[in-house]
Amino acid sequence: MNFRKSVPFFICFLSMVFTFSCASSPPPKTGGPSTEAKMREFEASTRVKEMNEKIIASALSSKRDFYRDYKIGPEDLLEVSVFEEEKLNKTVRVSSQGNISLPLLGIMRVKGLTSNEVEKEIRDLLAEKYLNDPHVSVFIKEYRNQRISVMGAVERPGTFDVTGQKTILDILGLAGGLRQDAGQLLFLIRPPRLEDETGNVKKDSDDRMPRTFIIDLDGLLVRGELALNMPLIHGDVINIPVSGKIFVGGEVKNPGGFPLGRRLTLSQAMALAGGLKSEAAGSETKIFRYSEKGTGREIISANVYDIQKGKAEDLYLKENDIVIVPKSGTKMVLNELWEFIKGHIGAVSYALF
């Protein structure tokens, strides 16, 4: 945003704010305890640590059932053994169409089946025509390579070459888990299915278009909704955007921008900003916010002292909110907002324009 172009907006915007700036009697000298912000950060860190522990535990647990539940796919190498007849033993690679070729039985489709299911199918076919009560073993000797990409707020973003069926939790474990600034949503972007995987699919089918799945991380990692732990396929891209920011200025000890996290209240934002200064007019706190209806900007009044005493609702903040705490006994909301904008123009220009 060009700074020159922003000047007319500031003049108009500040004149609108001026009407909300009023004098008040000095409030009681209240400052947030110096340890409160650290406690909030510790709680957030503990929460992310617990979520990452669940990611690791789930990944380890899934390995126990991996070989039993793995669905065979193209490029897997299968070792087929028939104990009653060694000539029927064969090591065969699954074709791109998902088929294998076996002596006596010819072409068989194995894509999407587990090794136990393939064993049963081979056993039934041999028993029908050739052998009495055959014993069949199917061992997956090599798993196909898949490339899954992870980007955003994880410890080790990148592209991972994996073998076998993996889930969202598996890949998050490989990526080192979530960072503390991770947002609430995970986006799974799935490429169009390849022609040899779709069969006779119409050109306008959804299978021929990229798809995006939105996963709520709290649902997956906190509430344990395992239906959200989707299996991944070759070419999938996982993106976890960082959480948004809120901005706190005026008579607080450490003004600036702070991660919004999954949910952040006004009192928590005050704690992150180090608490109120002794000269702060916490009863005249203003929250500047984009209108959800797209009709301009909202100005929300809040009394921090009443919130601290439990007499008022602790408001939840939204992305790009600007919280301004003026000085006591003066008409300072206008000036405090202007000073904050000047000091943080690079950070908040996007939020305001």
Report helix angle 345-352 to 333-343, nearest 10.
110
Helix (H, G, I), strand (E, B) or coil at 2: coil
pLDDT classification of 154: cutoffs 50, 70, 90: very high
Predicted local distance difference test score (pLDDT) of residue 157:
95
- pLDDT, tens digit, for every residue of 306-352? 999 999 999 999 887 889 898 876 555 555 555 555 555 344 443 34
Work out the angle at residue 196's Cα, subtended by the Cα atoms of residues 195 and 201, and round it to the nearest 5 degrees.
50
> Residue 305's pLDDT band (boundaries 50, 70, 90)?
very high
Please determine whether the domains at 3-46+244-352 and 145-197+204-240 fall in the same fold group of CATH: yes
* Bridge partner residues of 189 (DSSP): 212, 237
Backbone angles phi, psi at 345, to 5 degrees: -60, -35
Q: In the chain, what are the domain boundaries?
A: 3-46+244-352, 77-142, 145-197+204-240
pLDDT at site 333: 53
- Residue pair 55/215 in contact (Cβ under 8 Å)? The answer is no
pLDDT per residue as tens digits for the range 210-258: 788 888 888 888 888 888 898 888 889 999 988 788 889 888 999 888 8
Cα separation, 254 vs 95, whole angstroms: 62
Are the C-beta atoms of 348 and 247 separated by less than 8 Å? yes
Residue of 322, 319, 325, 333 whose CA lies nearest to 303: 325
Alpha-carbon span 269 to 323, nearest angstrom:
9
> Looking at the domain covering 3-46+244-352, what would its CATH class be?
alpha beta
57 band by pLDDT with thresholds 50, 70 and 90: low
Q: Over the range 7-45, which residues count as b (16 or more CB within 10 Å of their CB) and which as e? A: eeebeebbeebeebbeeeeebeeebbeeebbeebeeebe
Q: Which one of 2.30.110.10, 3.30.70.20, 3.30.1950.10, 3.40.50.300 gives the CATH number of domain 77-142?
A: 3.30.1950.10
Q: Can you give the pLDDT at residue 23?
A: 40
pLDDT of residue 73: 84
Could you report the per-residue pLDDT of 103-127, keeping only the tens digit for each?
Answer: 999 999 998 888 999 999 999 999 9
- Give the fold, CATH level 3, of 145-197+204-240: Outer membrane lipoprotein wza fold like (3.10.560)
Report the pLDDT averaged over residues 80-87.
Answer: 91
Mind listing the pLDDT tens digit for each residue in 165-197? 788 999 999 999 998 888 878 899 988 864 444
Distance CA 64, CA 82 (A): 26
Say if residues 215 and 168 touch (Cβ distance below 8 Å): yes
pLDDT in tens, 203-222: 445 556 678 888 888 888 88
32: pLDDT strictly greater than 70: no
Q: How far is CA 134 from the centre of its chain?
A: 49
More confident residue, 20 or 316: 316
Strand order from edge to edge, sheet including 297-302: 256-259, 245-250, 322-325, 285-290, 297-302
